[in-house]
Structure 1
Amino acid sequence: MSTATLNVDPQEIDKFSQLAHKWWDPNSEFKPLHDINPLRLDFIDRIAGLADQCVIDVGCGGGILSEGMARRGATVTGIDLAEKSLKVARLHLLESGQKVDYHCIAVEQMAEEAAGQFDSVVCMEMLEHVPDPASVVRSCAALAKPDGYVFFSTLNRNPVSYLKAVLAAEYVLGLLPRGTHDYGRFLKPSELSRMARDAGLQIVQLQGMDYQPFGQRYQLTDDVSVNYLLACRKA
């Protein structure tokens, strides 16, 4: 797959590359990812089970979720297009002692090379950063084995999510650097569900994630107005 046809926004890659050295600092710009990681892991583990499963983390970044899944007994492959993030992810394995197989490759190309090879495919906090999210959804579906699970998480698109995920998180509370998110790329659950069904996936569960500013913690909730997780199964 040529660079010209990659489903990637160079500005997004550059943005995360500049922050790559901070991936494993739990008090850095990546603090929200560290905070929600136990929730994401529990959601995946409860539905699909991670022990002894072959899992791929699409858009793995510095490996926070990848290592968490490996720690729970999964055999994990992580893919991303940000080389600097992957370098940090590989270096952190020396410290953690976990095993993750990292590759700098587009999910579309990975789907061509490893179709139907994974028990679970995980794509968290990535869809809102790519030009063509439907292409990512199709590729994730292709990577899953028959009856395998596919997990997504992203941000809803509505006035509440703009208020909380952009204005509050980036400009008021400072949870994320300004400009982290492009509101126009947020996806409504109905839109993502349609992409998933078009890719041959069955919807299993829709779950929200909410931030409580006074307790400074995240929790799983039935409210999907801002952050949400979508679990699917390949037909």
Structure 2
Amino acid sequence: MALSNYSCRFGLKSIPNGTVNLFKIFERFHYGNLKRKFTSRSIDPDEVKRFSQNSSKWWQTTDYLPLQRMNSLRVPFIVNSFKSEWFNRGSKYDSEENIDSIRFPLKDLKLLDIGCGGGYLSEPLTRLGADVIGIDPVIENIKSAKNHAKISFKNSEPKLAYKCCSIEEFSSDPNNQNSFDAVIASEVLEHVEDKASFLQNSIACIRPGGFYIITTINQTLLSYFGTILMAEYLLRLNPIGTHQYEKFTPPEVLDLILEDYKCRVLKRQGMFFNPITFQWSWCDDQSICYALLAIKN
């Protein structure tokens, strides 16, 4: 747990400025170590291999059911972000409240879903009116997503496209730079090698004033117990080896990386998965999973 969390954990309403500076120094040191640790690439070949082997399970089994059920939180989180006072839709969007905007609250918004997998999040965002591009470095995932989209949208022409590539490759195209109203990385960061590079290239695709929306796993003993020991080894909710503790990211560290690349964090919220009901809920505790909303300056 990062030191600055102690003020919240123990109910302290204020802490001396000097102490805050010590917290910042510690967090910067931790971030520096993290940034140096991941220097080669954002894609881990072992992760690609594992997801390739499990690609048939996206829509055929319940292996990824917890991830699919997360849509009950992350889809409203995304929609409500665009309804907030932080978002400036600009003159090209219809600002009037009408039936169309209620049915399709993401209409005309251009979204990038990084690490889209089988399309669990890309599809519902498309149904809500967004123009969605889903990218994933695993070709088998992209094939699964495309095949399912053909079934889901068989009577319509969705504004949904899938591409097999890394975020580094995608952001290197000038047409993709500064062009998306939001970039979404949901349950992806915990599988990334070079987090600083991943975030930098992701942010390059967001237009100024656009959003970066992230859901990921904190780096705490509780997250290790919940997402690895319980979810993988005891309850078998995920295949063993799905997560590595060293790849988890403390929110304070993530805030600092985003800040370095000109993104300001607007909101962060804890998430909790109930393994008995298989339902997700929001919570104040961010020690296991959390969602984050940031805006590009």
Matched residue, 1:47:
81
From 162, 166, 173, the equivalent of 1:106 is 166
- Greater shift, 144-153 or 209-218, is seen at 209-218
Structure showing greater Rg: 2
Check whether the contact 1:90–1:102 (CA below 8 A) recurs between aligned residues: yes
| 1:53-68 aligned within 5 A | 53-68=109-124
From 49, 68, 83, the equivalent of 1:14 is 49
| 1:181-220 aligned within 5 A | 181-220=243-282
Unpaired runs of at least 5, structure 2: 1-39, 84-105
Cα distance in 1 for partners of 2:289, 2:58 equals: 21
Residue 194 of structure 1 deviates from its aligned partner by: 0.8
Matched residue, 1:136:
198
Supply the RMSD in Å over aligned alpha carbons: 1.3
Cα distance in 2 for partners of 1:12, 1:232 equals: 26
Cα distance in 2 for partners of 1:211, 1:153 equals: 13
Structure having the higher strand fraction is 1
Deviations 1:201-231 (A, max 9, x none): 0101101110123433111122111011111
Residue 99 of structure 1 deviates from its aligned partner by: 3.9
Check whether the contact 1:212–1:218 (CA below 8 A) recurs between aligned residues: yes
Check whether the contact 1:29–1:175 (CA below 8 A) recurs between aligned residues: yes
Unpaired runs of at least 5, structure 1: none
TM-score scaled by length of structure 2: 0.75
Check whether the contact 1:93–1:99 (CA below 8 A) recurs between aligned residues: no
Check whether the contact 1:6–1:106 (CA below 8 A) recurs between aligned residues: no
Residue 83 of structure 1 deviates from its aligned partner by: 0.2
Cα distance in 2 for partners of 1:48, 1:213 equals: 30
Cα distance in 2 for partners of 1:71, 1:58 equals: 18
Task: Name the amino acid aligned to 1:230.
Answer: L
Cα distance in 1 for partners of 2:59, 2:206 equals: 28
User: SS at the partner of 1:20?
Assistant: coil
Residue 153 of structure 1 deviates from its aligned partner by: 1.2
Check whether the contact 1:48–1:120 (CA below 8 A) recurs between aligned residues: no
Residue 76 of structure 1 deviates from its aligned partner by: 0.2
1:224 equivalent to 2:286? Answer yes
Matched residue, 2:138:
82
Residue 6 of structure 1 deviates from its aligned partner by: 4.8
TM-score scaled by length of structure 1: 0.94
Cα distance in 2 for partners of 1:38, 1:211 equals: 11
Cα distance in 1 for partners of 2:198, 2:120 equals: 20
Check whether the contact 1:83–1:104 (CA below 8 A) recurs between aligned residues: yes
Residue 128 of structure 1 deviates from its aligned partner by: 1.1
Runs of 4+ in 1 over 4 A off after TM superposition: none
